[in-house]
Amino acid sequence: MNLLLALFMIFSNPSDKIKIVDPWMRVGAQGQATGLFFKIENNSDKADTLYKVEFEPAGLVQIHETYDAGNDMMGMREVGNIIIPAKSTVELKPGSYHVMLMKLKNDIKKGSVGNVTLFFKQAGKIMIKAEAKEMMPNQMKH
What residues line the site for Cu ion (CB under 5 A)?
64, 76, 100
- Backbone phi, then psi, for 109, in 5-degree steps? -90, 150
Our CB check for Cu ion shows the closer of 77 and 109 to be 77
For the bound state, the minimum distance from the C-beta of residue 64 to Cu ion, rounded and expressed in Å, comes to: 3
Which residue sits closest to Cu ion, CB atoms considered? 64
Closest listed residue to residue 26, CA positions, set 135, 113, 107, 105: 135
Least separation in angstroms between CB 114 and Cu ion:
17
Residue type at 128? Answer: I
**Residue with Cβ nearer Cu ion (45 or 80):** 80
Which segments of 13-103 does DSSP mark as H helices, in order? none
- Which residues, in sequence order, are CB contacts of 87 under 8 Å at separation 6+? 42, 43, 44, 45
Find the shortest distance in angstroms from Cβ 126 to Cu ion.
21
**Closer CB to Cu ion, 47 or 102, in the complex:** 102
Minimum distance between the CB of residue 102 and Cu ion, rounded to whole angstroms?
8
Q: Count other Cβ atoms within 10 Å, centred on residue 6.
A: 10
